A and B are shown apart, each in its own frame.
Chain A
């Protein structure tokens, strides 16, 4: 239930994001989910793609600083209370969420989370019958 995610270090200057996406686009790499976190100095681009190892190798060739990190993902109805519920489950167990982002999928939402302890988070959510997505599920999006 752990999903590999690409993390790319970006200097805060115009055009870098475009260059990453163009490099991937040239090789027809599909982007399933994307999120950018930034400070005034630099940013981190996070991507979920069908074949992260290949995408990583491609970006390394272009001299990007890129690594693979691990996230978990759940599918919930597209309403705030459901999002709140799963965050509550985690915080009740003292599992903190380092970052999260989401995207709509039909009438539902797909939520991506990086937790202080992903394995425990998976266990906790499964115990509450929350639907966790696998890397394979993502390939079908």
Chain B
């Protein structure tokens, strides 16, 4: 297994901490003197930059949230003059204004470096053909992968998202070995590959790097079975950098965070206390080298936990678990916390149905109601009403026992539930608050 930057990625953790401490001191000084918003926030909290002498002092600083980015839309949190900014990206901004991120030339170089680590983690090298089916544009997915792919010397195919038939054709004709897209789109591609009638042997695909939305271990298994590839989970968010913040290695036991550039903490989302090592909580990032948009203790809303043990691959960089969901996605149903990924886990433990679902939340007479639409697996479907009824009741029982919620299950025909070509729309909340 190759490692892109062995010196850093396998570094002794004490040495790493020394680098992180040096960098946090510089970062805090930089934001204090260059970004009025951070300066005011720190002054309000009664903390000057002299109070931060090492990474151990980080907890003293106030958090930054997506709202802070919106309040400073578009460029208010940039820490360099606009003449230094060479690239601007933004989040999709489904609610309200998008969040805007600016990169200096050095930021782009570091982004390419961490993406090179990510792709090497997935087993890619200069011999590979990387088909980038993430969207290009303001979204960071496409260009992030693109620069990393070029950095490792692979042949990059910037096909961008959508047009599934063409994706399959290019994948076949160009001999793509690595695909980069969202996991839900990977499943969509798997089906399209079967429908194309071209035999799997005629494709050279061996790995996929998937991210930009939460997905479960079970979904990974389905992708690996159907596409016959190694499915690697990658993590990143545009505010922090884009893809490349963390990536699984081929061991697939957690995602290595590029800690020399992005410092992670886990906090309790309610009390905001830093939690002890190994606890599940909300992931918070501080950028250590970013110039354009440095972020101090940025709340990601992603829920995970950190593992500091050395990985079998040899890397010493801390590993985060696959995100179990976003605190934003969390539904509160009759007072019970529910993550859509929990539903998927229940579905995948059962035969007879496919892991594609749509959850419809509604409120009838002040009571939350849940309906889960799931597809019948054709290989399982015979022609007995009783068999289907049994399946439906069993799924209802399993959901009740593992989630503690009564959910009405409806069996539906396949391919109706959106395997949308981007983020999948698995939850429809019709409740009006």
Contacts and interface: CB of A to CB of B under 8 A. Distances in A.
A67 B383 CA distance: 8
A66 B378 contact: yes
A46 B378 CA distance: 15
Contact of A41 (B383, B411, B413, B416): B411
A95 B388 CA distance: 22
By secondary structure, the A interface counts as: strand
A114 to B, nearest CB: 8
Interface in B382-418: 382-385, 388-389, 392, 410-416
B184 to A, nearest CB: 18
B381 A63 contact: no
Given A7-B382, A7-B383, A9-B381, A65 B414 contact: yes
Interface string A55-70: 0000000011111010
B118 to A, nearest CB: 36
A42 B169 CA distance: 37
A5 to B, nearest CB: 7
Given A7-B383, A63-B415, A41 B410 contact: yes
Contacts of B414: 63, 65
Nearest to A46: B383
B389 A39 contact: yes
Contacts of B384: 44, 98
- Give the interface size class of chain A: 20 to 34
B410 to A, nearest CB: 6
Nearest to B388: A42
B413 A44 contact: no
Given A9-B376, A65-B378, A66-B378, A44 B412 contact: no
A7 B380 CA distance: 12
Contact of B413 (A5, A7, A37, A63): A63
Greatest chain B CB density within 10 A among A10, A11, A65 is at A65
Contacts of A114: 383
Interface residues of B, number: 18
Given A9-B413, A11-B412, A37 B385 contact: yes
Contacts of A41: 392, 410-411
B413 A10 contact: yes
Contact of A7 (B375, B381, B412): B381
B392 A65 contact: no
A42 B382 CA distance: 14
B392 A5 contact: no
A5 B384 CA distance: 13
A67 B381 contact: yes
Contact of A69 (B378, B383, B410): B383
A11 B392 CA distance: 14
A56 to B, nearest CB: 10
A50 to B, nearest CB: 19
A5 B383 contact: yes
Nearest to B195: A61
26 contacts: A7-B382, A9-B376, A9-B388, A9-B413, A10-B413, A11-B411, A11-B412, A11-B413, A11-B416, A37-B385, A39-B389, A41-B410, A42-B388, A42-B410, A42-B411, A44-B383, A44-B388, A46-B383, A63-B413, A63-B415, A64-B413, A65-B381, A67-B378, A67-B381, A98-B384, A114-B383
Given A39-B385, A42-B388, A67-B383, 9 more contacts: A7-B383, A9-B381, A11-B411, A41-B411, A42-B411, A44-B383, A66-B378, A69-B382, A98-B384
